[in-house]
A = this chain, B = another copy of it.
């Protein structure tokens, strides 16, 4: 292991000078710079970031805590984060929680132990405990996709209620009578917000909100399938459904297909969040599209800014969704 002392010795300067050359803040005699650079090359010296981190008491690691890398929504978001992080000199540590608060806690513990520079998190639970642990340790936190009640942190969201309202309204205005809603876990803010948007659309059109047309599921494909099945088993089954995320939409459509219910003629479907290659799916799916990559990018930018300017007040950025009408919600005439 070649250290800064080896380089110093070879270049016949002090370790401090080597450090100065490498970090290039203070000015160093050009001759010495040349000697140091040569020694670095000759010895193939690689600065030890662990030692540097200890000395500076900060690292260049960001934790990105999400519920599932398998979901293209989070994938795209992570990509946005990573692109910004890399450019700013940070690396991204991936933390899958599977919506499990215990896993979330473990990752927070790791982030704390490893003195990570910051955390971008889509919280799994309603409790603010994990985020508070980070904040009280002085670790900057950016909430992404999901709000954290009662805590002041930088936050990046989309207009969930609005998007859901558009989606539901679109179904109602298209002539569907009994529009159901499959939303996510009660403890997740997006699930609640999207359900609210759904309810608001019904109310504003004088349609009664019927509880038996609402299902709380898990944001996963299987959950969407099961919820749809359960809705169809009602005495008075829905003729349309709004699903509050991409995977549940896929599950719901699969269920409808398997039961021989034609979409959109016998049942209309709108999902929240797009899926990749939506164009290949038949019928193509009407969705509330989110700027997923931008979501990640924005969160990363907020984190980077907070790291350089820790004192400033937390801000919340709300990005806009967009209803993309495709086949699954439009009955012929």
Q: Which residues of B contact A276 (CB under 8 A)?
A: 72, 250, 276
Count of chain A residues with a beta carbon within 8 Å of a chain B beta carbon: 49
Q: Which residues of B contact A280 (CB under 8 A)?
A: 250, 253-254, 257, 281-282
Contact: A93 with B96, CB < 8 Å?
no
Q: Which residues of B contact A275 (CB under 8 A)?
A: 277
Contact: A69 with B91, CB < 8 Å?
no
Contact: B279 with A254, CB < 8 Å?
yes
Query: Is the CB of A19 closer than 8 A to any CB of chain B?
Result: no
- Assess A49 versus B115: contact at CB under 8 Å? Given A70-B76, A253-B280, A282-B282: yes
Contact: A92 with B91, CB < 8 Å?
no
The complex places the Cα of A49 from the Cα of B109 at a distance, in Å, of: 11
The complex places the Cα of A212 from the Cα of B280 at a distance, in Å, of: 27
Residue of B nearest to A91 (CB): B93
In chain A, positions 37-65 with a C-beta closer than 8 Å to chain B are 46-51, 53-54, 57, 59, 61
- Assess A112 versus B75: contact at CB under 8 Å? Given A94-B82, A280-B281: no
Contact: A96 with B72, CB < 8 Å?
no
Cβ 8 A contact of A50, one of B47, B53, B82, B254: B53
Contact: B59 with A50, CB < 8 Å?
yes
Query: Is the CB of A110 closer than 8 A to any CB of chain B?
Result: yes
Contact: A79 with B93, CB < 8 Å?
no
Minimal beta-carbon separation of A214 from chain B (angstroms): 24
Minimal beta-carbon separation of A139 from chain B (angstroms): 11
In chain A, positions 235-254 with a C-beta closer than 8 Å to chain B are 250, 253-254
Minimal beta-carbon separation of A272 from chain B (angstroms): 16
Query: Is the CB of A114 closer than 8 A to any CB of chain B?
Result: yes
The complex places the Cα of A109 from the Cα of B45 at a distance, in Å, of: 11
Q: Annotate A90-126 by CB proximity to B: 1 below 8 A, 0 otherwise.
A: 0111111000000100100110111100000000000
The complex places the Cα of A109 from the Cα of B48 at a distance, in Å, of: 11
A interface residues (Cβ-Cβ under 8 A, vs B): 1, 46-51, 53-54, 57, 59, 61, 69-70, 72, 75-76, 78-79, 82-83, 86, 91-96, 103, 106, 109-110, 112-115, 137, 221, 250, 253-254, 257, 275-277, 279-282
Smallest CB-CB A-B distances: 6 pairs = A282-B282, A49-B113, A280-B281, A49-B114, A250-B277, A50-B54
Task: Beyond A91-B95, A280-B281, list 4 extra A-B contacts (CB 8 Å).
Answer: A47-B113, A48-B115, A51-B54, A282-B282
